[in-house]
Chains A and B, each alone.
Chain A
């Protein structure tokens, strides 16, 4: 994609759920990749240590094997709501104390809820590692929810939804597309939740979710930075090690997604759309769910189809003045399945149908004829460089292993991905394209402006999800 200043929301659609594609350096410089080690506490909590001694800072994360796809029926948004409530009081801490302590330590903290995981992280100077471990271990088991705080925070999550989804037609379109792409699997429900259900979430809903999923034996601790495993182990035992495992911290039981048999479409007409947008999602395997080589092939396919100004989509659509910008991404970190995302910002002038036909022609060509050796080599080279950029970023590294291990992957499996990508051949790419980029696995979304300005007709209420 050219470096156009695309709307941040369009970028959100593209980067959401991003797979951390991984590549070894062919010249084998050991320094490019960290030496990751792993151990387990007696209570079942997994610990991963990623040394990075460049600055005396640590990144500390706890990943829970629980996310929005585990929201019980009718309470969409509860995983995310609980994530907000985790910043309130515990049996040992006053409300607001957590933030004040992190501030005094000169640290940063945040949390992210996704469909399969919920993660909490802090970045602090290394001497404060023990302090953040105490805080995080405390709220893992000692959360105390106060009714009034729960009610006020429920207003906040509704504000969050209004400002980040409802205010933006591309996000609304994407949300509706997911609800159509998945017929049964809970990825069809938005992480933030459906507005009407969010308004009814209760303290009891949050407590039930917390008691079911938040326990050391359902969590992964990541410490990246200026530490050694020998330093981390006693600290982890003295903090998280005190928490009792919860045998009821259940494995997830999720609805299965049936094999797709029809292509689907979603169209949103919205006065706030400044220009048309064409989005395409394909239902594909993810790294955790794929057979060997499939996820790697999809990663390369996404790169070749739309990653930059040399991609198939750019060369065919932008050169022919059908599109202003194009993009793609492989979202390969879903526990149960992944998505391949294609984006086209049509040029002013040509009808949308013509733009979509050109997109379909690009896909049909790749499904039938595969890609060229030059394209494949170039994609491998680009992904190799991306891996090194990622390894330069302590937070990205921590995410790579935290998310992977939380999804049940081994360190060895995560580290083997680069080598597996380098081994992908032209036949693998063609097989993946032919097998997974079929119309019946897809949903096409179009967004168009209303001819008359300043009347909003589309809202989540107007397009209720099928439950």
Chain B
């Protein structure tokens, strides 16, 4: 039993967010070890834009892609539609029935996935390089010639409903969904990605077909390819997989959104022995000149390591929680500082008190010089650690691209961190950590008194 990981991974929902934040951490200070990765921007004959990393030492190819759009494009009342469309792509396509499609994929040992995210539909293909061509053909069929059989739609809808039922009492999911609903009330962005039992039950084959026609187009597509493939073969693969897609996506402009502050924590009453909280604030956009300073600050406050302020105060000194951490979330629509923890119901008031003290103290005084230096050294030294498998390299690069970075980011990242000064960090702490604007959602029966 793989149990007792000392420094906890966060929940599945959260892991996506945390993974995203990890990508924001950066290259080595002073003497960066030469990054062996060379990222090459390429454009195929049919105009597909991609980033390529050639890496021939392991015989596999990892491709990650995103069609910007995603769950925020779901029509009102049809929440969960983007995820359903994504699920349906691998339920039969071209001249292959669902069973035949899956049989081929299984025999190839390829990993093909498409899923609906909040701001984009994400996909990936990982395969042995010697089996790349037939695997890529399956991906082409899935994207361009899905069947959307009525019977498969009924089954996938039922499966989605079961998944919603399974997650109905999952504290982190509940708290996170409520956090987005409160913070982005009235916006398409605040709705649950996976929908509600009511919205999913209402999804029809016509809904799937009409939604499918909107986001899958070349102009909103970004592709990253990493592995045992050269530039020419990569360009040909891009054309054969994505070349048949329409030029332009039909998207609704959701615009950018800002979280709306809450005067007091919102509690979802559940008779659970533990209370689970999600807390967060508006953050700086990724292209803001102070963003690197915020990365340093976030590390000091909530990296989840034992030397981060929240872990030190909540876990190491007081034993109040197993884990408490914060992440910087950014996508095309918003930027957030988001964190979470679980604690006994009777300790919720104490942990929230510590949380407020840590944030207020940081806003008032900034970090100490040694915390500040350690965090910078960590961020610069650890960047490389995220680039350890082809699939992770591809995912990390795709995230950077979606965040608006260029292929030179790998080289400029550490310079940006290195330039942050202690007074920058203090100033940004005062500007961003507005404790009165903290949005907190809690699942459980928390007690706030002493």
The chain A residues found within 8 Å of chain B, CB to CB, are 2-8, 10-12, 15-18, 25, 27, 29, 31-32, 53-57, 68, 80, 83-84, 87, 96, 98-100, 102-115, 123-127, 151-156, 159-160, 162-164, 166-167, 178, 190-192, 271-275, 277, 307-310, 315, 318, 321, 324-325, 345, 347-348, 377-378, 381-386, 388-389, 391-395, 454-456
Contact = CB atoms under 8 A, between A and B. Distances in A.
Given A108-B385, A123-B385, A310-B99, A167 B319 contact: no
B205 interface: no
A29 B87 CA distance: 35
A310 B2 contact: no
A55 B306 CA distance: 27
Contact of B108 (A25, A107, A348, A385): A385
B271 A152 contact: no
B368 interface: no
Interface string B16-42: 000000000000110001111100000
B3 A381 contact: no
Contacts of B87: 2-3
Interface residues of B, number: 94
Contact of A384 (B109, B164, B378): B109
A190 to B, nearest CB: 7
B48 interface: no
A40 to B, nearest CB: 28
B36 A4 contact: no
Given A99-B307, A321-B155, A456-B271, A112 B6 contact: yes
20 contacts: A12-B2, A31-B56, A55-B387, A104-B377, A104-B378, A105-B381, A106-B381, A107-B382, A112-B4, A125-B28, A151-B319, A159-B320, A164-B322, A191-B1, A274-B164, A275-B166, A377-B107, A385-B128, A386-B109, A454-B271
Nearest to B26: A106
B226 to A, nearest CB: 10
B408 interface: no
B290 to A, nearest CB: 22
Contacts of A100: 307, 374
A160 B270 CA distance: 20
Contacts of A54: 36, 55, 57
A6 B2 contact: no
A11 B12 contact: yes
A126 B155 contact: no
A103 B377 contact: yes
Max count, chain A CB within 10 A of own CB: residue among B4, B5, B33, B58? B4
Contacts of B3: 16, 68, 80, 112-114, 164, 190-192
Nearest to B343: A159
Contacts of A307: 106
Contact of A80 (B4, B56, B99, B344): B4
B109 A31 contact: no
Contacts of A32: 58-59
B159 A2 contact: yes
Contacts of B110: 385
Given A167-B171, A167-B342, A382-B109, A112 B270 contact: no
Contacts of B389: 389, 392-394
Nearest to A225: B388
Given A16-B2, A152-B316, A156-B319, A103 B58 contact: no
A102 to B, nearest CB: 8
